[in-house]
Structure 1
Amino acid sequence: MNSVTPKGLRDFLHASATLMAVAFGAVTVPATAQQAWPDRPIRIIVPYAAGQGADALMRLVGQELSKSLNQSIVVENRAGAGGNIGAALAAKATPDGYTFMLGTNATNSANEFLYPNPGFNPATDFEAVAMIGLLPMVIVTSATDLPINGIADLIAHARSKPNTLNVGLPSTTASVVFAQFVKSAQAPLFGVKYKSSSQSMTDVLGGQIPLAIDTVTAARPQIAGGKLRVLGITSLKASEMLPGVKPVSEQGVPGFDVVAWDALFAPRGTPAEAVQKLSEHLQRALQQPETRRRMMDSGVEPLYMGPAQLEAFVRAERPKWGGIIKAAEIRVD
């Protein structure tokens, strides 16, 4: 049996302590030397096709975020089912702070009431990151033979001749705006569904229908050319995008406020640091004059909300959109 002298024991213990220190150092050093978020490219899922409004907006904002974060922003288009395919993918993504989603009033407020199984739960599957902007709708007409110069005139005419004024509705959002307007204003109008803005605009300009509800983006070229008159904008307050146009809420329908919106979300469980930092960098991006100008040119009114404010906003939007959809029995074609 080998014996150990006192000196040998001291040497043994000293060597063991050194080895343990090295071992612990090997564990702790990478943690302390780890780079702050983000240390690799960030993926943002856009649940709509490339080239559409949401995609163009995310690429515009993504350019500013990339510069601010000094990291690549990878926009990934996953279109289909009204945004549900991309939203479901984002909901199931690893919540590591490197996958986010451009959410909308459709994916995070309306779709659960329009589809029997969207594939995700907007109330529990996402963390709110930041609001990007609002997309107000407009009620427009090209009719020159109707004595309608504003929302009050429209309501009076509709009440005097119920269901004789057709309104073109090229989207689910337009249908929701229409349903709420008819209910709030007690204006018996007749909605006509279209598959696209181009189709409804063609019919309005051609005189087949007298009215349409659409985005500022779709209507503005014809407004600028004097071919369409704007009766009202659907945001609660007037918009910089259409100076001089009064909101519906100031024309006899108090409190009327139905707008589309775009915001960033993260899979539930994403580190709070990543959520907060991305939110702060997005706020800086929205303060850039050129970014704001380009957003408004595309029909999006910049509006920043932080995580807590956006969470509260979406929590209120879901029953609002759901209530309108259910009451009007709006369906997805």
Structure 2
Amino acid sequence: MPAKHDINKVGVESSDFPILYLTGTGLGENPYLRMSKQEFGSECKICNRPFTVFRWNPGAGARYKKTEVCTTCAKIKGVCQTCLLDLEFGLPVQVRDAALGRKNGAPSTDINKQYYIQGLESQMERSGDGTTFDAEVANRAGKEMLKNIARSDPYYKRNRPHICSFFVKGDCKRGADCPFSRHEIPEENGLQNQKLADRYYGRNDPVAKKILTQHAESKGLKAPEDKSVTTLIFLGLPKCTDSHVRSALMFTCPFLKPIDIKTISVVEASHCAFIVFVTRATAERAAEALSAQGGMEVQGKRAKVVWGRPRPAKHKGKQVEGETGVTAAVET
């Protein structure tokens, strides 16, 4: 009979201190913080393995906070264990990955998740410093973009108590004794519908979508109101072919797949290229990533990106002859 495995070798992690975004929010203003520690207190929201849970109160009038993911998952993505924001800039993972051109290599399904986690843990043990291995050479323009939009001052708004759901329904009768002290109607801005797994993997994050959209608009890449427009135009290209443009685009936007691109047309005389995407959502995401990285580099030269223009509406009309004999179109 084979020997029974040690519990700490079959997918359970223990830690002495959480990985937190110290510059931002989680610990509060008081430097002397009391924190409770419970080994194997809960399962990680990403890898579903038991891990050490830390719980604390950031300050007076704030809600209790705790770690949501294990230290291994936090190291893999370089995020805070509580808010799942980037440790360096305090921004959503989707914003950071778009600016740095990072590809999400971590599996999101349970089939390969455990194997992937164990492989990374082995690499961290061999390195000795416990650093993340889901990293790449940072894009200089993307780094500057992240520095410009990152918060420089602590932001404690996230530590506020949750809104009382009974008050929203008009049924709260506890008054001052209500543990949910925020008696207010939530603002419907679409940012409340965040899923923890989507925030961690950097996909379908409404907060990241808002940040990237605002940055794209500031760079002149505001998406046209006409939803039929799915074309991006690349200006200032060197002498190249459509294969060069395709390779550069796939490298800059690693989330794209070959089936996402409908056509690529290079106009050598004008040093530009027209890329038509299959869907509008894919075109918008590519535009956000390209604006975050300051354009796209093709054959050693950085090209500017703009949206294509909607086609002018075709006016149906009948031809009438005026007094001067000039033919004009009249709308019907």
Q: TM-score range by the shorter chain?
A: under 0.3
Higher RCO (CA-CA < 8 Å; seq separation 6+): 1
| TM-score, normalised relative to structure 2 | 0.24
Task: Give the structure with the larger helix fraction.
Answer: 1
TM-score by length of 1: 0.24
